[in-house]
Every structure is written in C-alpha cells, then in structure tokens.
A and B are shown apart, each in its own frame.
Chain A
Amino acid sequence: MGVMKRVSLVFKAKANKALDRMEDPRETLDYSYQRQLEMLTKVRRGVADVATSRKRVELQMNQLQQQSTKLEDQARKALSMGREDLAREALTRKSSAQSQLGDLQTQYAQLQGEEEKLTLASQRLQAKVDAFRTRKETIKATYTAAEAQTRINEAFSGISEEMGDVGMAIQRAEDKTAQMQARAGAIDELLASGALDDAIGGRRDDIQSELDAISAGSDVESELSRLRGELESGAPKQIEGGQNGGQGAQGAQNGAAAQQARPTGGNSASLPVSDLPEDGA
C-alpha cells in the first residue's frame, strides 16, 4: 500500500475512534462543532503569532540596515582622517551586520510563507465549519438517531480530516516561530552588546568615540589657530584704536571677517558624521 493511502487510513482511524466514543451519534455533532470552533480560534491565534514574529524580524532588519549605513559612514570618516585601521574595523562590522541581515531576510520570507499558509488554512476551515453547522441542523431535524449515523459519519470524517490538517499546520508554524524567536533573541543580544552598536538607541560605540576624540583634538587645534589669529590681528588693532578711531573700526571688521572665515574653511572632521557629504572621503 502506498504512502498516500496509508496516511489517509491513519486520518480515518482517528476520526472513527472519536466517533466510537459517542453514545448517541447526534451528540457527536454538537461536540465536534465545539471542537471546530476551538480549532478556528487556535488557527487565528496562530496567524497572529506568526505575524508578531514577522514584525519583530522586520524591526531587526531595519536596525541592522541603519547600523550598516552608520558603519559605512564611520569608515568613510575614519579614512578621511587617515585612520585606515578604524575604517577597516568599521567595515568588518558592517560585513557582519550585512550577513545577519541576509539571514533575517530568509527568515522573514519563511515567516511570510507560514503566515500566508495559515491564513488560507483558517479560511478553508471556516468554510468547512460553516458547511458542517448547516449539515448538523439538517441531520438533527430530519433523521432518527439510527438513520443519522451514516450521514454523521460522512460529515464528521470530512471535517475531522480538515481539523487534523489544520492542527498540523499550526504545529509546524509554532515550531518555526519558536526557532526564529530563539535566533531573534540572539540578534537582540548582539545588537545590545555593542558588538553591533545599537544605532537607534544612540549609544556611543568605540569607533565613534575614537573618531570623536580625533575630532576633538583637531577642534582644539583649530581653536588655537583661531585665537592665535585673533591675537595677531586684534592686538595691533587695540593699540591703533587708541590712536585713531577710524582705523580701529576697520581693524575690528577685518578681525570679525577672519573669525567667520575660519570655521567654514576649517577641519571637516569636526562635523557630525551624519552631516558629511556622500563624497566626503
């Protein structure tokens, strides 16, 4: 006997066993109908659970994508400061984030598939449950217990097969969701640990701290040269101001112009990463 026949016999045996437990076959109808409604609730909850998992994966995908973009910006900035070592580190982390992202995309597609399958399963079951309810009322109204037996058996084995199928679909979806939850948990930990810095949380990671330190260093340098410039142009101005008001005013204007010119012409490294132009490197 082939596989298909054997599986169908297993399903039928299950249905018959359930039927045999009933004293009055018509009792079976109401009891079974209750079970069907419970199964409908279960499958709908299953759909919602898979959707929740899918949304969680989606959120992580967004986080990893932001992380990846940020790391590339950091690499660009580090390179523009002549820190190839830092740029290399940032790109290594970016590559790790990208590979996690690839995994998540596969998981996302799988969860989407499960969600779709369960949704369809729930629609099929709903249609069968509705048909069963109608059939149940007809059987109860029209037939005696003895007469009803055959008709009940027919309706029952059809719905019981569907219930078995849906029950397995729910189980499969739950197993898959549980696997993905575990992996999603691991990625959350990775994101939180700073191995992949949490871009959304805005925590400072080590690469950023080093870049900031370099920026701060060059800020000090540019401040120094600004002050030096002020002293050089400002000191004679004060003396001259005492001698000649007109010349002093002109000197002060020159000084202000020099001050304004410095920051814009200064070190681009002091700009925040996000303000860097794309071709900044």
Chain B
Amino acid sequence: MIVRILGEGQFRVNDDAVAELNRMDAELEAAVERDDEGGLRISLNTLLAHVRNHGTEVPPDSLEPSELIVPHEGSSMEEVRKLLSDDGLPTA
C-alpha cells in the first residue's frame, strides 16, 4: 500500500510491514488522546522510521493517491490535531 509522509513524499510499503505500522499508529493515536506531547514525538518518530525503512519511494510522476498519510516529522500535538480536523489543509 502507498503511505505518504507529509513533507517527504510517498512510499510503497509491503503488506507484511503494514501490521506493525498499524500497531505503531495505534500508539500514536493513544498519545494524541492522552494529550501526551512526549509520547506523540516518540511514536511519530518510530512510525516515520518504520515507513522509511520498510518502504520504497514511489516515483514522483505517479498520480496514485495514498491510503495512509503520516504527519510530517517534528509535528506538534497542535499540528496533528489540525490535520485531523482538516483546518490545516489548504483547499485543493
């Protein structure tokens, strides 16, 4: 499946790496729900590293949309919340 890291581009991640990815995402979500800024930073970094290590970059001229989108590296709690509420997104 195709995963986009905001600010970095798209990666194709094999199915066998997806289960682990979902587990990490659950941790990220839990950190957001707890309003735990430190936890957010740690789980986001783990998630980013996993996608970068297990994914291969999608050629830039592909027009395929991504199934999953990871917030950009160094995102704050506020920025992640904005992404989830679509306030932070410029109009397409």
**Which listed residue, A7, A17, A121, touches B84 by the CB 8 Å rule?**
A7
CA distance A154 to B2 in the complex (A): 14
Q: Does A45 contact B (CB under 8 A)?
A: no
* A18 and B92 contact, CB distance less than 8 A: yes
| CB-contacts of B12-29 with A (<8 A) | 21-22, 25-26, 28-29
Contacting pair A131 B92 (CB below 8 A): no
B92-A15 in contact (CB<8A): yes
Give B80's nearest chain A residue, CB to CB. A3
B72 at the interface (CB under 8 A from A): yes
Instruction: Determine if B80 and A124 form an interchain contact, defined as CB atoms under 8 angstroms apart.
Output: no
User: Nearest-CB distance from A150 to chain B (Å)?
Assistant: 13
- Across the interface, which residues of B come within 8 angstroms of A167, CB to CB? 89-90
Partner pick for A10 among B4, B25, B72, B86, CB 8 A cutoff: B86
CB distance from A228 to the nearest CB of B (A): 73
Known contacts: A15-B92, A18-B92, A169-B7. The answer to whether A8 contacts B61 by CB under 8 A is: no
Q: Which of B4, B21, B85, B86 contacts A14 (CB 8 A)?
A: B86
Instruction: Tell me the residues in window 41-90 of chain A with beta carbons closer than 8 Å to chain B beta carbons.
Output: none
User: Interface segment, A155-163, A188-196, A247-255?
Assistant: A155-163
Number of A-B contacts (CB under 8 A): 115
CA distance A169 to B61 in the complex (A): 19
Count residues of A near B (Cβ-Cβ below 8 Å): 42
List the B side residues contacting A13 at CB < 8 Å. 86
Residues of A within 8 A of B9 (CB): 120, 124
Please tell me if A128 contacts chain B, counting CB pairs below 8 Å. Answer: yes
Residues on A with beta carbons closer than 8 Å to the beta carbon of B88: 168
Whether B89 pairs with A168 at a CB distance below 8 angstroms is: yes
Taking a contact as CB atoms closer than 8 A, the residue among B25, B62, B66 that contacts A131 in the complex is B62
Please name all residues of chain A whose beta carbon is closer than 8 Å to the beta carbon of B25 when the two chains form the complex.
Answer: 2-5
Give Cα A11–Cα B72 distance, bound, in whole angstroms. Answer: 14
Chain B count of residues within 8 A CB distance of the other chain: 37
B62 x A158 contact (CB < 8 A)? yes
Kindly state whether residue A239 has any CB partner on chain B within 8 Å: no
Q: Does B63 lie within 8 Å of A159, measured CB to CB?
A: yes
A132: Cβ under 8 A from any B Cβ: yes
Q: Which residues of A contact B71 (CB under 8 A)?
A: 3, 7
B83 at the interface (CB under 8 A from A): yes
Contact A8 B6 (CB under 8 A): no
CA distance A128 to B60 in the complex (A): 6
User: Does B64 have its Cβ within 8 Å of any Cβ on chain A?
Assistant: yes
* B60 close to A8 (CB less than 8 A): no
> Taking the nearest CB of chain B, how far is it from the CB of A72, in angstroms?
37
With a cutoff of 8 Å between Cβ atoms, the chain A residues found around residue B85 in the complex are: 10
Docked complex Cα distance between A240 and B68 (Å): 107
Given contacts A124-B9, A131-B61, A164-B92, contact A8 B67 (CB under 8 A): yes
Minimum distance in angstroms from B25 CB to a CB of chain A: 4
- CB within 8 Å for A168 and B90 given contacts A7-B84, A10-B83, A131-B63: yes
Closest 7 CB pairs of A and B: A167-B90, A158-B63, A2-B25, A127-B60, A4-B68, A160-B92, A131-B61
| Interface set of B (CB-CB < 8 Å, partner A) | 3-4, 6-7, 9, 21-22, 25-26, 28-29, 32, 47, 59-72, 80, 83-86, 88-92
What are 18 A-B contacts with C-beta separation under 8 Å? Answer: A2-B28, A3-B25, A3-B28, A3-B32, A4-B3, A4-B47, A7-B70, A8-B66, A10-B83, A10-B86, A18-B91, A35-B92, A127-B60, A158-B65, A161-B66, A165-B4, A167-B89, A168-B7
